[in-house]
Chains A and B, each alone.
Chain A
Amino acid sequence: MIPIRLDHVGKRYGANNTVVNDIDVTIASGEFFTLLGPSGCGKSTTLRMIAGFVAPTTGRILFGDRDVTSTPPNKRGTGMVFQNYALFPHLNVAQNVAYGLVTRKVRTPERDQRVARALESVGLGRYADRRIEQLSGGQQQRVALARALVISPDVLLLDEPLSNLDAKLREETRTEIRRAQREAQITSVYVTHDQAEAMAMSDRIAVLDAGRLHQIGTPREIYNRPATAFVARFIGRSNVLDAKMVGGSGETAVVRLPGGATIEAARPADMATTDEVAVSVRPENLRLTEPGGGMLDAVVHAVEFTGANSQFEVESGGLKLSITAPDSAALPRPGDTVGVRAEPGHAWLVAR
C-alpha cells in the first residue's frame, strides 16, 4: 500500500502536440482513483506514464518515496488490466495467471497455490486448463484481473477494463473489481470515459479534457459542485447558461441570464471575481410552475417520456433549458407556456 505522486507530469509529442498538460496530484494509499474524460483527453496516456510505457516529457512520478520516472515497466511492480485484456493466446488460463509469478521467480508449490487461489477468487477455479479463446469476454476479463492481482502489486492500473462487456456484465464486474481492490487494499488508478462507472466505483475522480485537468474530487463533489462548464456538462446532464454577475456577496451570487431573468447561485470560494460567468443547473433542480409563477416563462418544445420522469425541452427568448419532472397526468404539452423556477441552493457558478 503506497501513495502515487504525479509531480507536474506532462507529455508532449513533437514541438506543440501536448497530450497531457502538467498534471499534479497525489493518489492516497489504497485509494481507488479514476481518470475520467472523453476520448483523446490524455487519460490513457497518463495511465501509461504511470505504468512506464510512455516516458513523461516533464515532471516526475513517485511510488511512495521511490522515483520511478525512468524505471522500466517490468521493474515498477504494477499490475495492469488492459482494455482488450491482453491475455497471452498461446498460454492457457493458469499459465497466463502464473506469468507474473514466473518472472518474479516464485517457485512451484507456492506458485501453483497462488494461481489456484487467484482463479478461485474470481470464480474461475475450474477453468485453469482452458485455452483463452474458449472463454467468454467476461471470463477473460476476470482472468486479466486475476493475473494482475496475483503478483500482489503495489499499484493496480485499469485501462477501460469494462468497455468490451455488455451493460449487465459491466455492472456486475465493476462491483467485483471494487471488492477485489478493497480486499487487497491496493492503490488503484482506473481509466474510463463512462461517468456513471466513475461515479459508482471511485473514491476520487480526476476529470480531464484535451490534456488538461479540470477538477479532482469525490464523485459527490464533482456532481454537485462542478468546477468548470466542461465538468458540469460531462458529468450527468446540466444546463450551463452564460450569465452576468449582478449582485450578491460571499458564498451567494445573483446573476442575470440572457433574457433578463435573475437567479441566485452558490459561488465557489476560489472563483475569480469576474462579471462574465456561467451558471450550472441540473435538469432535476428546475421546476415547472404556472406561467408567471417562476423566474421566467418559457414555451415547451418537446416532451420525452422516460419512465419515472419526463424530459422537457423549453425555450425562453433564445435560452434553451432541459427540465426533468416526475411524471403525472397534468403535465404541459408541446406549445404550452410554462413558468420555470430553480430549486434554491442548486444553481452553481462555474468558470466559463
Chain B
Amino acid sequence: MSTVTTPPPAVAAPRTRRLPARDSDRFVYVLALPVVAILVFLVLIPMLATARSSAGGAGFADNYRSLLSGASGHALLLSVGISLASVLFCGALGTFLAVLLTRFEFPGRRLLSVFAVLPMALPPLIGAVAFVLLYSETGIVPRTLHSLTGLSPASSSIGGVSGVILVHAFTMYPYFYLSVSAALAGQDASLEEAATNLGAGRLRVWRTVLLPMLTPALVSGALLTFMMSMASFTAPQLYNVQTLTMEIVSARTSGNEALAATQATALSLVSIVFLVAMRWYQGRRVHRSLSKGSAAVRRGLSSGAARVAAGIGSLLLTLVLMAPVLVIVLVSFSVDGAWTTQVLPPEYTAANYQRIFTDPKSLMPVSVSVQTSLMATLAAILVGAAAAWVVARWKLAGRWTLDVVIMLPWALPGTVIGVNLVTAFNEPTAANLGLTLVGTLWILPVAYFVRFVPLVFRSTGASLEQLDPTLEEAARSLGAGPVRVLRTVTFPLVLRGVMAGALLAFVDGVGEYVASVVIYPPGTVPMSVEIYNRIYASEFGTAAAFGSLQIVLILFVLFASRRLEDGPRRRPRRRRTPAVKAS
C-alpha cells in the first residue's frame, strides 16, 4: 500500500532515455532553415559587404580614424547631439500628454486623445515637409506673424538644427506617449491608495510609487527615440543639416564609397548596441503590478477657470498636432508655382489629384510604390510569420540570435540598409550568388522587405505569445498531428496579428523614402522620391497631393489594424451543423 521508501528499480540498468525528437520539433527546425537562409542572404551578408568595403579607399584604419575628426566626426557628434535633444523633448511632450490624458478629466480630453497619435499617420518625408511648410523662414506661421506684427520671418522661423529637433519632437513623441500611457493604464489604483493610506501626499505618491513604476516605459521610449533620431534622414535633408545619415548619402553621391561604408558601419554598430540594449532591458524583471485591480480614476478639475483654461489649452494643442496634416491637405489643392511669398497659397484647384490619376507620368510613382510594396509585403508575410513561429517554438539554444537577426533591419537606419544592398548586389559575386539587383526594379521590393519584415515578425510574435499553449496541446490530444495543429488552430488564431503587421508593412513600403532615395533604379521612381523631386522643383501642390494620398492610406490602415488587434466580436455563424473542414 504505502511506498514511502521506494525500492530500487528491478532492472539494474539506468532507464534514462532521450526520446527521439518529436515530429513537431523537427518541423520547427526544418522551417527555420529557409528563414535563416533568407535573413542571412538579405540582411547579414549585405551588412558584412558594407563592413568589408569600409576597408577600401584610404584603408581600414584611416577610414575609421576619419570618424573622429573632420566632416564625419562633426556629423557623428551632431547626430548624437540631435538625438539626445530629441529624447529630451519627446520625453517631456510624450510623458506630459500621457499623464494628462490618462490621469485627468477636463474639457477637450477626448478630442486631444484622438489626435495625440496623429503624428503616426505621417509618413516620415511628409511629416518633415509639413514642418518646413509651417515653420521655416518661408513657412506659414512666420509669414502670418510677419503680416500681423511685422516681426521678420527670419527671427520667428525655426530652421537648421532646431528645425530637425522640432520635427523629431513632434513626430517621435508617440514612442513615449504610447509606452507611458500603457504603463499608467496598467497600474493598479490600489497601489496609490495604499501609499496614500500610509500617509504619502500626492507629490510623494508620484515620486515614490508612480515614477519608479514608469521607469521601464521611459527607458524603452528613450532608447527607441534615440535610435530613430540617429536613423533620421528626411528632416536633416530638408533642413540641410549634415548629420551622419546625410554624410553617408553625400559621400556615396560624391563617389567616396569607402567613406560611406565606414560611416554606415559605424551607424550600424550604434544601432545594434541600442537594439541589444533594448532587448536586454525589456527582458529584465521589471516592476509590474502583481494584482489585477482597477485602473485609477481620472481626476477632474474643480475650478471653472481651470476647466476653461484646460479646454482652450487642449484645443490649441490639438490644432498644433493637426496642423501638419491640415497643411499638407491644403497645399495639395494649391496650383503649382502660384504660391510664392503669400501667407497661404492664393489659388486652389483639384487638378493635382486629377493629374495623378490620368497622367501616366504622374501615376507611375504611385503604381511603382504600390506594386513593389505589395510584393515586399507578401514576402514579409511568409518569412515574418514563419520566423515568428520558429522563434516562439525554438527549444534549443540560439533562439535569441534569430530574434535579434530578424529585428536587426528594424534597428538599422534606412540609409544603411540602402547602402548595404547597393554594396552587396552591385555586381555578381560569390557572396550574392551572382545576383545583381542594382539598377533593376527588384531592388525596391527587396529593400522594403528587409526594412519591414520585422513588423510582421513582431505582430505575429505578439499574437503567438497571447496564444494559450494548451489550445495546441488540446488539439494534439484530440489526435491532430503538428501540421494540422498549425493549420487548424495556430494559424487561424494568429491571423489577425499577421494581417495587422502586413498592413503596416505595406503602408510603410508605400511611403518609404530613406532607403529608396539611395537605391531606386533610373526610370522607376517610387512615390516618396517623386514627392521630394516635386518639392525640389517647387511643385508643392502635386507633392502634397501625393502626400495626402499616403496619409489617407495610412489612416485607413491604422484604423483597420486597430480593428484587427482589438478583434471586433465576430458574429456567430448561422450554421446548424458542426462543420470543421474535413481533410
Contacts and interface: CB of A to CB of B under 8 A. Distances in A.
Contacts of A75: 479
Nearest to B492: A90
A82 B113 CA distance: 42
Contact of A80 (B9, B16, B474): B474
A297 to B, nearest CB: 34
The residue in B24, B471, B575 that gathers the most chain A C-beta atoms within 10 A of its C-beta is B471
A51 B477 contact: yes
In the complex, which range does the number of interface residues on chain A fall in? 35 or more
B149 to A, nearest CB: 61
Contacts of A82: 470, 473-474
Given A74-B476, A147-B478, A270-B2, A107 B578 contact: no
A130 B576 CA distance: 10
A69 B475 CA distance: 19
B369 to A, nearest CB: 34
Interface in B477-499: 477-481, 484, 488-489, 492-493
The residue in A73, A79, A82, A151 that gathers the most chain B C-beta atoms within 10 A of its C-beta is A73
A332 interface: no
Interface residues of B, number: 45
B202 interface: no
Contacts of B481: 72, 74, 103
A254 to B, nearest CB: 22
B359 interface: no
A88 B484 contact: no
Given A86-B471, A129-B573, A130-B572, A8 B492 contact: no
Consensus secondary structure, chain A interface? mixed
Contacts of B573: 92, 129
Contacts of A213: 3, 6
A105 B3 CA distance: 43
Interface stretch (A55-63, A195-203, A312-320): A55-63
Given A59-B15, A60-B15, A74-B481, A128 B470 contact: no
The residue in B23, B468, B578 that gathers the most chain A C-beta atoms within 10 A of its C-beta is B578
A131 B567 CA distance: 14
A74 B6 contact: no
Interface string B8-38: 0100001111011011100000000000000
Interface stretch (A28-36, A94-102, A273-281): A94-102
Given A73-B473, A151-B479, A228-B4, A129 B15 contact: no
A53 B473 contact: yes
A325 interface: no
B476 to A, nearest CB: 4
B579 interface: yes
Contacts of B473: 51, 53, 73, 80, 82, 86
B484 A72 contact: no
B580 A91 contact: yes
Contacts, number: 151
Contacts of A216: 1-3
Contacts of A55: 19
A52 to B, nearest CB: 8
A53 B22 CA distance: 10
A82 B474 CA distance: 8
Contacts of B290: none
Contacts of A112: 577-578
B582 interface: yes
A76 B479 CA distance: 8
A129 B19 contact: no
A137 to B, nearest CB: 15
Given A104-B479, A214-B4, A134 B572 contact: yes
Contact of A86 (B19, B468, B575): B468
A24 interface: yes
Contacts of A88: 471, 474-475, 489, 493
Nearest to B7: A24
Contacts of A105: 582
A227 B2 contact: yes
Contacts of B3: 24, 213-216
Given A80-B477, A111-B578, A151-B478, A351 B6 contact: no
Contacts of B479: 74-75, 77, 100, 103-104, 151
B4 A227 contact: yes
B493 A90 contact: yes
Contacts of A107: 582
Contacts of A58: 14-17
Contacts of B570: 131
A214 B470 contact: no
B284 interface: no
B9 A8 contact: yes
B4 A84 contact: no
A270 B15 CA distance: 28
A259 interface: no
A22 interface: yes
A82 B479 CA distance: 15
B285 interface: no
Nearest to A10: B15
A134 B575 CA distance: 16
A55 B576 CA distance: 40
Contacts of B287: none
A284 B574 CA distance: 58
B475 A99 contact: yes
23 contacts: A22-B6, A53-B473, A53-B476, A55-B19, A59-B15, A72-B22, A72-B476, A74-B481, A75-B479, A80-B473, A83-B470, A84-B468, A86-B468, A86-B471, A88-B493, A92-B578, A95-B578, A103-B478, A103-B484, A107-B582, A215-B4, A216-B3, A228-B4
Interface of B: 1-4, 6, 9, 14-17, 19-20, 22-24, 468, 470-471, 473-481, 484, 488-489, 492-493, 569-570, 572-582
Given A53-B473, A58-B16, A228-B4, 14 more contacts: A57-B16, A58-B15, A70-B20, A79-B478, A84-B470, A88-B471, A90-B493, A99-B480, A102-B581, A105-B582, A215-B3, A215-B4, A217-B1, A227-B1
Q: What 6 A-B pairs come out closest when comparing CB atoms?
A: A227-B2, A94-B578, A100-B478, A103-B479, A86-B474, A86-B470
